[in-house]
Amino acid sequence: MQATGGASLNTSDRAESPRASSSSRGWRRGAWWAFPVTALLAYGLDLGTKTWAVRALDGGRDRELVGDLLTLHLTFNPGAAFSTGTQFTVLLSCLAIAAVCLVLAFSIRVRDGLWAVAFGLLLAGVGGNLTDRLFREPGPMRGHVVDFLQLPNWPVFNVADMCINVAAGLIILQTFRGVALDGSRGRDEPVEPGDGPEPDGARP
């Protein structure tokens, strides 16, 4: 049933639209908190496991954690993730500092939960290994990263390396899905005044 002039009596859709939009914006703002929470938890896990590995595995005592599949083997790596670039320790430290700054800068724009988790893991991974380079022997910017997880035919790695790789996977996934940092998609275009359908009775 319609009122005079063809206007619909059912105004619930129009009334709910602003509330739904406001709720969506609020959820996106709240999703940002997944970034610091993920970063702190993953960073703490990385530092904690490294501290334990240095104490428990000192002296070259390997431990089989899952048979021959996963072994705890302590090494000190002057390079990047998975023992790459071992001759560029200072350069890698500088790049890590720059990466931390970039992640923090981009995180301000994050309003999507999955992006927030990805940036949190990335910050924890880069920051965890950077902490080793800044505070471990042989000195600041040249410190060796603690690695202790070993798979067959694979370089020794740590929790920070795992965080970096999972973060990279999530970033690739979100990119292929077309999800922007604010949670919008490429096809979501804002509706400008006059672009939407005209209400009934407004046509000439």
* Cα 45 to Cα 49, 61, 129, 145, distances in angstroms: 6, 22, 12, 15
Take residue 174 and report the two structure tokens written for it: 């979100």
Assess whether 58 carries a catalytic annotation: no
Active-site hit among 161, 188, 195, 200? 161
CB within 8 Å of 158: residues ≥ 6 apart? 46, 49, 50, 128, 129, 145, 146, 147, 148, 149
Query: In angstroms, what is the C-alpha Rg of the chain?
Result: 25
Active-site hit among 132, 147, 182, 188? 147
Helices (H), 57-199: 89-107, 113-135, 159-177
Active-site annotation, residues = 147, 161
